[in-house]
Homo-oligomer: A and B are copies of this chain.
Amino acid sequence: MEIFSLKNEIKEYILIKKREGKKIGLVPTMGFLHEGHCQLIRKARSECEIVVLSIFVNPTQFGPSEDFNKYPRDFQRDKSMAIKEGVDIIFCPEAKEMYGENSLAYVDIKKISKVMCGKFRPGHFRGVCSVVLKLFNIIMPDAAYFGLKDYQQYLIIKKMVEDLDLNIEVFGCETVREKDGLAMSSRNKYLSESQRENSLVLYHSLNLAAKNLIEKKKSIQAIKKQSRQMLEENKYVNKIDYFDIRNADDLSNLSAYKQKASKILIASAIYIGKTRLIDNIAILI
Contact = CB atoms under 8 A, between A and B. Distances in A.
Interface in A98-157: 99-100, 103-112, 129-130, 133-134, 137-138
Contacts of A192: none
Contacts of A162: 100, 105
A167 B110 CA distance: 26
Contact of A104 (B109, B138, B165, B167): B109
A160 B107 CA distance: 10
Interface string A73-117: 000000000000000000000000001100111111111100000
Contact of A105 (B21, B109, B134, B138): B109
Interface residues of A, number: 30
A232 to B, nearest CB: 34
B111 A108 contact: no
B108 A112 contact: no
A11 interface: yes
A105 B164 contact: yes
A22 interface: no
Contact of A108 (B100, B105, B138, B164): B105
Nearest to A99: B163
Contact of A165 (B108, B134, B163): B134
Interface in A56-83: none
A166 interface: yes
Nearest to A130: B164
B167 A105 contact: no
A276 interface: no
A43 interface: no
14 contacts: A104-B110, A104-B159, A105-B107, A105-B109, A105-B129, A106-B108, A106-B110, A107-B164, A108-B108, A134-B163, A134-B164, A137-B165, A137-B166, A138-B165
Given A105-B109, A105-B164, A137-B166, 8 more contacts: A7-B165, A11-B167, A104-B112, A104-B159, A105-B160, A105-B162, A106-B110, A137-B164
Q: Which 7 A-B pairs have the closest CB atoms?
A: A105-B163, A137-B165, A104-B110, A105-B160, A103-B163, A104-B109, A134-B165
